[in-house]
Structure 1
Amino acid sequence: AMSLNRGMQKAVAVATKQLEKLAKPVDITKKDDIVNIASISANNDAEIGKKMAEAFMRVGKDGVITIEEGKSLDTTLEYVEGMQFDRGYLSPHFVTDPDAMTCELDKPYILIFEDKISNVQKLVPLLEAASKSKRPLLIIAEDVEGEALATLVVNKLRGILTVAAVKAPGYGDRRKAMLEDIAILTGAQPIFKDLGIELDKVELSQLGQAKKITIDNDNTIIVEGIGSDADIQGRIGQIRAEIDGTSSDYDCEKLQERLAKLTGGVAQINVGAGSEAEMKEKKARIEDALHATRAAIEEGIVAGGGVALVRCIDAVNKLKLKGDEATGVEIVANALRTPCFCIADNAGAVGNLVVNKITQGTGGFGYNADKDTYEDLIEAGVIDPVKVTRIALQNAASVAGLLLTTDCVVTEQPTDEDPTAAAAAMGGGMGGGMPGMGGGMPGMGGMGGMPGMM
């Protein structure tokens, strides 16, 4: 079994390298490529493909695209410029537009403070300086509470100072990193605990600035911070280096979000549907389309319809191994033709004939099951992300190898979960007990029917 597994792993390694050679890079500026990739991943839904392409054209390959449940029948795309983070105002009294329940700050100063603010005396000097400047003030801190928050609200309501406060985004080390991002974007000096700077010593020159800030109950958006382009590009390069150096998918996702916030812009696709069931199904397809498109941008595309895997068979068969290892190679070679065979078979064609004809061709030549014709599938828009194809192959080999090298499996004994049987058993028990209830407590002996539930 071990030799068989080794042969399979060697064959998969060769196939993976061949897939990389076949890969064609995706040009993010070519809308048709994105439409084709996203449409196929969404079960050939052209509408989803177009929305996904529009989103990527707006935010770029590093941009954040979120998928939310919409409130109408139509699927729509919204775009938010600037840096957005999911923290809203700490008090509704900060609202400047009562109709929209938002706080709009034009050309504000921005204080970035890592710690909590509760002592109003230390905050007063900065409030006085901001008031004299006749410009709004936004405070981003771990929290603003007690008399400090009350003082901000009173100053706002009396018209002395247009001010707002929000909690810092993120948690732990990620919070500090995001505060640094905001500081670089707005040209601020972040006031961190380890710097030893007291709040009452902070001057306006240490604060950040932006063209506009919009705050609602849940989000804050900073538009056009005054940070220098050189500093922002340096930070972007640093985050990209962290992305390349991490092996955690979760960390990579969070770093990508930070990168998108710095590069500017978030696209949101609002899924429209007529029922909850349709909403869940459609949202799942759009999420598949998003992940497939990102994978294609990351590693490129190959011909779909199982053709790319068929093109790997010759390279795998060139492996010169012996014994069980050779058998492992043969297993993988047979597996590489199976997706193409199944697609043709499901389309009503003869699987073996289709695979043999594709084998005789080269490049993207393959069987288009949708049109029941042979053509260049890449030109026809029938494409798959290399990353998806590669991971599917590697995962299949990993599971097969695990089963081959497993001596025993521990499983639970299945239980009868027939609901009609349980209901019948309950009914039998209750039948004996109910009549006895008229005579008081002794009649409860009728519950003896309950063992029927076991």
Structure 2
Amino acid sequence: MNHLKVRSQPTKVVIQATEALPVVLEAMQIVSEIVGSTLGPGGRPVLIEKQEYGLPPFLTKDGVTVYKSLGFENAAMDLVMEAIRDPAIHTANEAGDGTTTATILAASIVRKVHEWHQKHPDQSPQAICRTLQAMIDDGLRFLQERSVAATMRLPDGSLDPEGNKLLLAVAKTSANGDEDIAEASLKASQMAGDGGNVLLTEAPGSGYKVEKVEGYSLPVGWEDTAKSLAANWFTDQAREVCRVENPRVIVYHGKLSGMTSLTPILEKVIAQYEANQGDDVAAILGYGAESGVIASTCKEKDCKKALALMEVTGKGVVWGCKGHPQQAEPIELLLDECRRLGKTVIVAASSFSDMVLTSFFMNFRREDSPQLVPCLIPQGPSSNYQLQVMHDIAAVVGATVIDPVSAREAKLSCLGPGVSAFEMDRLRSSFEGAAYKSAALRSDPYRHQLAARIDAVTKQVQRAASSLDRTYTQERLAKLTGGLIRLTVCGVSNADIRERRDRVEDAICAIRGATREGCLPGGCWGLFVMARYISERYEAEVSSVLVEALREPFRRLLLNAGCSEAEVAKIRTEMIEKVEALSESASSAGWRDAKPEIFDAITKTWIDPFEAGILDSTPAVDRAVRSAAAQMPVGYLGGIIAFKRDDELERKEALAATAYQRAVAQGANEANERG
């Protein structure tokens, strides 16, 4: 029997230019109204239902989250929304804030471009868009050159009181006036530093908790590493934690399915441990030099010969090569440094077989063998992520990454001097300290090793292939620089936590943006200044397209605050007059000195934004305007081609997916119920 493949051509919806533009304007206006309802202190949160089965709905006032959740049943309108959504989301990814402003601006600009094109059908729409883009670039350059710098730290490393006051105001504005969020976000940013990273976690309760994660941490613990055998490594049964002091580290690139490859290096560890328990000074110092905790080569210029024990006196030890004997540190100091290296070894590897884990915990309890603790390296978004993390750990602990081939000839120096402690709980493993701190008598090589690794990871961030890779690499860089900070968002429900977390993310991104590029007075003041600048320098007929559009977010902000259309018109006129009152000379000298005034939507009064603490980060304003400008071509579409939705098919697929997820959640298996 011949089986013919069923061929079905999707039904296309083709809309001509004359019909397409009303669809575009309607779709953008609806999106602008919904997303714009969250703008400003008077903005309203939006309740969003999750499509996935079993997940509760959540409440958010975050514009980008609302935007991502939108959809139209009409195929053409949904296509328009998808086309204009990416630039707005890109604004959030770059600046962390400004999505709502960008959405309102985009709808207004597209409408104004469409109106201008209707009045001037003989003019090239591409030409007008290029002209408007040049105006926008010029206006944004004017804003950036005159933004107020907000530095977190002074050149001597101390906190800048004035700069941090501005950053706190930026964070508070971005967090919709929540002082607790602003203070927690600023504290986390201060602790993280320029190269640091702030990790957001969630927990039940109230308030916000900021803490520093010491050393290099991994998001895996004994639950993933050792599973049912984990209890054999607990040093604190009550807390279910394994903690060991002064461990050394083997960084093994590969899966450990047997002990054969590690046997040679572990035998050397035991030999050194036994020598350290004895009185043979030469043997102790020899192993110490091989391990890298004391010097192993002569420090004299152009002499790299191996050092040897020349003589032991009551005052110290003569430790040098035959041509350059040197009086070294007191013998007690050298011996203490060498004897610090015990027999506890952390083995960091890609994976462990059950046989290897069994051998590890049997050795962990024995007195005459190395105390081996497994540490699983987590997988990441790329195939070489594990290897990159291994090199990071090696730089921190002063070790060398080995593999199944090089492990057989590994020396004690491959383990490095180790770290001060290693702790593994259920969900996290942490290396506390660093090699250059452990090797007090020979710290320079390990400092250089860590610095070189930081430089390498910094370059990896710059050439990351995707935003996901960049996020993971930035997290690794933060751990290496000691700037990994955890900010815990607490709430009474999932919806409450999610809404708080969105505002925390906005505040942190706003602080970072203001630190890099400065800040501006809030309340849409920057948009009004930009509109004034453009209107004064360009032809009125063309510039009016942008001037009116740039003032639209201010109108939406006032409407959200409860003002009527008449009040909005009056306040808007006053805002234009106050901006025009600022002379260009005062602006170039500094807007802060010019004492600008903005309208406070909460108190309904005119205030000094710097005194009241209502400031926007410059990147948020810049990216919002650029994102909106990218939507201009949508205002003169030649048509829309979309695929008509099969509502019945989509409904059946959704029901089938929901039924399957419910069955999985309840542990049901249809095959087991068949007769």
Cα distance in 2 for residues equivalent to 1:233 and 1:376: 45
**Which amino acid letter does the alignment assign opposite residue 390 of structure 2?**
L
Which residue of 36, 41, 49 maps to 2:169?
36
Considering Cα pairs closer than 8 Å and 6+ residues apart, tell me whether 1 or 2 has the greater RCO: 2
Report SS of the residue matched to 2:204.
coil
Which residue of 403, 411, 423 maps to 1:214?
423
Cα distance in 2 for residues equivalent to 1:353 and 1:318: 17
Which residue of 618, 635, 642 maps to 1:386?
618
Cα distance in 2 for residues equivalent to 1:393 and 1:192: 52
**Which amino acid letter does the alignment assign opposite residue 181 of structure 1?**
D
TM-score for both structures, normalised by structure 2: 0.57
Indicate the larger mover: 179-188 or 231-240.
Answer: 231-240
- Other-structure match for 2:378: 169
Indicate the larger mover: 22-31 or 379-388.
Answer: 22-31
**Which amino acid letter does the alignment assign opposite residue 9 of structure 1?**
Q
Structure 1 regions of 5+ residues with no counterpart? 420-454
Deviation at 1:390, TM superposition (A): 1.2
Report SS of the residue matched to 2:185.
helix
Cα distance 1:298–1:405, how it changes in 2: closer, same or farther (>3 A)?
farther
- Other-structure match for 1:439: none
- Other-structure match for 1:187: 398
Indicate the larger mover: 309-318 or 93-102.
Answer: 309-318
Structure 2 residue 264 is matched with structure 1 residue 125: yes
Q: How is 1:88-99 mapped onto 2 (pairs within 5 angstroms)?
A: 88-89=221-222, 90-91=225-226, 92=230, 93-99=232-238
Structure 2 residue 496 is matched with structure 1 residue 255: no
TM-score for both structures, normalised by structure 1: 0.82
Indicate the larger mover: 217-226 or 107-116.
Answer: 217-226
Indicate the larger mover: 4-13 or 39-48.
Answer: 4-13
Structure 2 regions of 5+ residues with no counterpart? 1-124, 153-158, 274-341, 437-445, 583-590, 652-675
Structure 2 residue 344 is matched with structure 1 residue 205: no
- Other-structure match for 1:357: 577
Deviation at 1:246, TM superposition (A): 4.5
Report sequence identity in percent: 22
Cα distance 1:224–1:165, how it changes in 2: closer, same or farther (>3 A)?
same
Is the 1:36–1:382 Cα contact (8 Å) retained in structure 2? yes
Deviation at 1:388, TM superposition (A): 1.3
- Other-structure match for 1:366: 597
Deviation at 1:406, TM superposition (A): 4.7
Which residue of 233, 247, 262 maps to 1:108?
247
Deviation at 1:413, TM superposition (A): 6.2
Cα distance in 1 for residues equivalent to 2:535 and 2:149: 27
Deviation string, structure 1 residues 107-151 (Cα, Å, up to 9, x no partner): 111011111111212222333333442331001111121432221
Deviation at 1:215, TM superposition (A): 1.2
Q: How is 1:412-423 mapped onto 2 (pairs within 5 angstroms)?
A: 412=644
Report SS of the residue matched to 1:169.
coil
Cα distance in 2 for residues equivalent to 1:143 and 1:184: 21
Is the 1:73–1:272 Cα contact (8 Å) retained in structure 2? yes
Is the 1:138–1:163 Cα contact (8 Å) retained in structure 2? yes
Structure 2 residue 484 is matched with structure 1 residue 266: yes
Cα distance in 2 for residues equivalent to 1:248 and 1:415: 35
Cα distance 1:50–1:366, how it changes in 2: closer, same or farther (>3 A)?
same
Deviation at 1:247, TM superposition (A): 6.9
Is the 2:532–2:580 Cα contact (8 Å) retained in structure 1? no
Report SS of the residue matched to 1:48.
helix
Deviation string, structure 1 residues 182-214 (Cα, Å, up to 9, x no partner): 111111111157xx51x2322221113111111
Cα distance in 2 for residues equivalent to 1:403 and 1:248: 30
Cα distance in 2 for residues equivalent to 1:411 and 1:333: 37
Cα distance in 1 for residues equivalent to 2:641 and 2:137: 28
Cα distance 1:247–1:157, how it changes in 2: closer, same or farther (>3 A)?
closer
Is the 1:130–1:161 Cα contact (8 Å) retained in structure 2? yes
Is the 1:110–1:138 Cα contact (8 Å) retained in structure 2? yes
Deviation at 1:303, TM superposition (A): 1.4
Structure 2 residue 352 is matched with structure 1 residue 144: yes
Deviation at 1:393, TM superposition (A): 0.8
**Which amino acid letter does the alignment assign opposite residue 632 of structure 2?**
A
Structure 2 residue 438 is matched with structure 1 residue 229: no
Is the 2:242–2:424 Cα contact (8 Å) retained in structure 1? yes
Cα distance in 1 for residues equivalent to 2:410 and 2:258: 14
Structure 2 residue 494 is matched with structure 1 residue 276: yes
**Which amino acid letter does the alignment assign opposite residue 393 of structure 2?**
I
Cα distance 1:406–1:79, how it changes in 2: closer, same or farther (>3 A)?
farther
Structure 2 residue 260 is matched with structure 1 residue 51: no
Cα distance in 2 for residues equivalent to 1:376 and 1:357: 15
Deviation string, structure 1 residues 335-389 (Cα, Å, up to 9, x no partner): 2222334434555452332322232233251314134333431343211111111
Query: For the aligned residues, what is the CA RMSD?
Result: 2.6
**Which amino acid letter does the alignment assign opposite residue 626 of structure 2?**
Q
